[in-house]
């Protein structure tokens, strides 16, 4: 298990914030946008609904919710101030609010949101169960989740290619463009340390979600977890 020190992780994301979007597009060859769009299609935001984007970073998921339904309201929270600062100029509507907050101690009353998302944030949580229980707490009964996280492809050939890219090329390009010595070495380590698909499903269920599905995206490089809080 790698150590997940919240203060250190927050600082790391603040440090890379100015180059974060550029590196996302570059390192995923633009596919990350499609993954976010696919997650929000599953969430199916409705007009007048209120949605929480946990670990919103520079706000791409919050923006995608708005793009798919401009009549939904979105709140994005993140503990890395600089990520939010980089996100703010992208926000084109008062229906979207970004603010500072810790996913493990969400600053909202229970039963506030119709749905919640978190893209590539949960593997950074110092306590995954606590973070997922917090998301569950702030959802209304029947509220939905759509959570994206990096996974490791199940196919041996694809996994070999992917691990070569992820552990050799990506840290090199990431370090070069971001100037950060560790952030893009931490990325593959945190992904490889993350629970596999079947365990992930169990963890979501242990945290109170039902109808949990884990769908692989792009050969299983990314995974999309959907589910909902039971009505009672
Ligand atoms: C890889 S970025 C993803 C950002 C954004 N969701 C996206 O799709 O681009 C991970 C984000 O999670 C945030 N994060 C990690 N742990 C957090 C926590 N406990 N509370 C709030 N934000 C957290 C980091 O600050 C960072 O902005």
pLDDT bin (cut points 50, 70, 90) of residue 188 is: confident
User: In terms of DSSP bridges, do strands 222-228 and 139-150 run parallel, antiparallel, or are they unpaired?
Assistant: antiparallel
CATH number assigned to the domain covering 6-228: 3.40.50.150
What is the structure's pLDDT at 71? 97
What is the structure's pLDDT at 28? 84
pLDDT bin (cut points 50, 70, 90) of residue 194 is: confident
Domain boundaries, the chain: 6-228
Q: What is the percent of the chain with per-residue pLDDT over 70, rounded to a whole number?
A: 100
Question: Does the structure show a pLDDT above 90 at 166?
Answer: no
pLDDT top residue among 83 and 92: 83
pLDDT bin (cut points 50, 70, 90) of residue 216 is: very high
pLDDT bin (cut points 50, 70, 90) of residue 53 is: very high
Question: Does the structure show a pLDDT above 80 at 2?
Answer: no
Neighbours of 196 (CB within 10 A): 12
How many whole angstroms separate alpha carbon 65 and alpha carbon 102? 21
Strand order in the sheet with 73-78: 96-100, 73-78, 50-54, 113-119, 139-150, 222-228, 210-217
Pocket of ligand 1 (CB under 6 A): 6, 9-10, 13, 55-57, 60-61, 78-80, 83, 102-104, 119-121, 124-125
Query: Which of 19, 51, 55, 122 has the most ligand 1 atoms within 8 A of CB, as the residue to mutate?
Result: 55
In eight-state DSSP terms, residue 88 is G
What is the structure's pLDDT at 181? 83
How many whole angstroms separate alpha carbon 109 and alpha carbon 129? 19
What is the structure's pLDDT at 15? 92
Provide the token pair at 124: 């950074």
Going by C-beta distance under 8 Å and a sequence separation of 6 or more, which residues neighbour residue 35? 28, 119, 148, 217, 218, 222, 224
Query: Which of 5, 18, 57 has the most ligand 1 atoms within 8 A of CB, as the residue to mutate?
Result: 57
Nearest atom in ligand 1 to the alpha carbon of residue 83 is: 27
Provide the token pair at 172: 């090199």
The SS3 call for residue 146 is strand
User: How does DSSP assign 183-200, residue by residue?
Assistant: HHHHHHHHHHTSPPHHHH
Average pLDDT on 78-91 reads 96
Distances (CA, A) of 89 to 17, 86, 93, 166, 225: 13, 7, 11, 30, 29
Average pLDDT on 21-28 reads 88
Question: Does the structure show a pLDDT above 90 at 207?
Answer: yes
Residue holding tokens 């084109």?
Answer: 92
Average pLDDT on 176-180 reads 88
């Amino acid at each position: 298990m790698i150590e997940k020190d919240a203060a250190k992780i927050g600082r790391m994301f603040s440090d890379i914030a100015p180059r974060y979007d550029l590196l996302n597009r570059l390192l995923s060859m633009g596919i990350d946008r499609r993954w976010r769009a696919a997650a929000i299609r599953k969430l199916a935001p409705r007009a007048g609904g209120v949605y929480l984007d946990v670990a919103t970073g520079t706000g791409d998921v919050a923006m995608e919710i708005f793009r798919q339904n401009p009549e939904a309201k979105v709140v994005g929270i993140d503990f890395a101030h600089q990520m939010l600062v980089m996100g703010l100029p992208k926000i084109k509507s008062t229906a979207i609010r970004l603010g500072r907050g810790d996913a493990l101690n969400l600053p909202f009353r229970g039963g506030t949101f119709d749905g919640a998302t978190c893209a590539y944030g949960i593997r950074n949580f110092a306590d995954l169960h606590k973070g997922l229980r917090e998301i569950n707490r702030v959802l209304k009964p029947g509220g939905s989740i759509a959570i994206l996280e990096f996974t490791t492809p199940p196919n041996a050939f694809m996994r070999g290619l992917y691990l070569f890219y992820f552990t050799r090329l990506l840290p090199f390009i990431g370090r070069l463009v971001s100037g950060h010595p560790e952030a893009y070495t931490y990325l593959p380590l945190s992904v490889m340390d993350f629970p596999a698909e079947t365990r992930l499903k169990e963890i979501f269920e242990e945290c109170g979600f039902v109808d949990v599905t884990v769908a692989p995206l792009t050969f299983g490089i990314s995974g999309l977890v959907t589910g909902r809080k039971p009505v009672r």
